Structure 1
Amino acid sequence: MPVNPVAPHRFKIPESVLVVVHTPALDVLLMRRADVAPGEFWQSVTGSKDTVDEPLAHTAAREVREETGLDPQAPGCRLTDWQLENVYDIYPRWRARYAPGVTRNREHVFGLCVPPDATVTLNPREHSAFVWLPYREAAGQCFSPSNAEACLLLPRFSKVTA
């Protein structure tokens, strides 16, 4: 039986992660999206589950690897589930990625503490630049309100997981 080389259209699952990548000194990694022009759209690592039953920690680790090249299981790294959830309206520009009628997304917040000398390798299809900023300054640069709020919560959650 011949294999169909054209995969069927697959909609994004409206459940995602937001991962605040940071150093012990609370400097936060922000990346500029490559698909928004002109771009001053800065964000942390984000991404949807690949399958409905994919564990959220796997989604978080996978997205970190895909977007930054960082390995959340590497020595000196610590991925933590902050047990926070945001529900928000999907921006109209991205709704076509979801099944018809889907307008809301459920986002789960994680933190990833990395050593200060961690090497970031961006996926150029997703991001065009990155910067490390003190957490308050990072919050001021985030396009997404939930991302800005997560940056501001970093001191609280970094103490809980230390």
Structure 2
Amino acid sequence: MAPLHMVHKPYKIPESVLVVIHTPALEVLLIQRADTAQGVEHWQSVTGSKDHWDEPWEATAAREVQEETGIDVQAPGCRLTDWGLENHYDIWPQWRHRYAPDVSRNRERVFGLCVPAAVPVVLNPREHVRFQWLPWLDAADLCFSASNAEACLWLPRLSVVDGG
């Protein structure tokens, strides 16, 4: 067995999800990243990479929502919807070390998750330090990622709030 200092964590898969969590009133949950520079506030929706190449998009979305917010997408009153949108973008330089050396682009699938207004949120403190619920336009303005802001702007047209 290799010494502990030589054990290599597997590279991240450059396929991820973006999940816009919202209420029927179109209030959006934003979470603040923990791994940013002092004094910098990066607010975002839930994001995360597949654990393995053949993991279904919905499974990735459900897992990431659970890991980052404690919300169970199958709980009563919750509805996860694949919006059928994908973003392709360059991986930011500060996060490139997480990927194989020849990987520079990521494919991101966009989902919406409608939740009851009073759903409890439990953050993973290693990943996020605060959360807030905002009207969809205010959330779009606060997102540090352009693709996340755009997803918030799509919310009124793509959200499923009637359970059907």
Structure 1 length-normalised TM? 0.94
Q: Which residue of 2 aligns with 1:22?
A: 22
The 3 A distance-change label for structure 1 pair 118 and 51 is same
Q: Which residue of 1 aligns with 2:119?
A: 118
Gaps of 5+ in 1: none
The 3 A distance-change label for structure 1 pair 14 and 137 is same
2:29 is paired with a residue of what secondary structure? Answer: strand
Q: Distance in 2 between matches of 1:40 and 1:139?
A: 14
Gaps of 5+ in 2: none
| RMSD over equivalenced CA pairs, Å | 1.5
Q: What number of residue pairs does the alignment pair up?
A: 160
Runs of 4+ aligned residues of structure 1 deviating over 6 Å after TM superposition are none
| 8 Å Cα contact 2:114/2:160 also seen in 1 | no
Structure 2 length-normalised TM? 0.93
Q: Which residue of 2 aligns with 1:95?
A: 96
Q: Distance in 1 between matches of 2:109 and 2:29?
A: 18
Cα displacement (A) at 1:98: 0.2
| 8 Å Cα contact 2:81/2:160 also seen in 1 | no
Q: Distance in 1 between matches of 2:160 and 2:48?
A: 25
Structure 2 counterparts to residues 5-154 of structure 1, below 5 A: 6=4, 7-38=7-38, 39-154=40-155
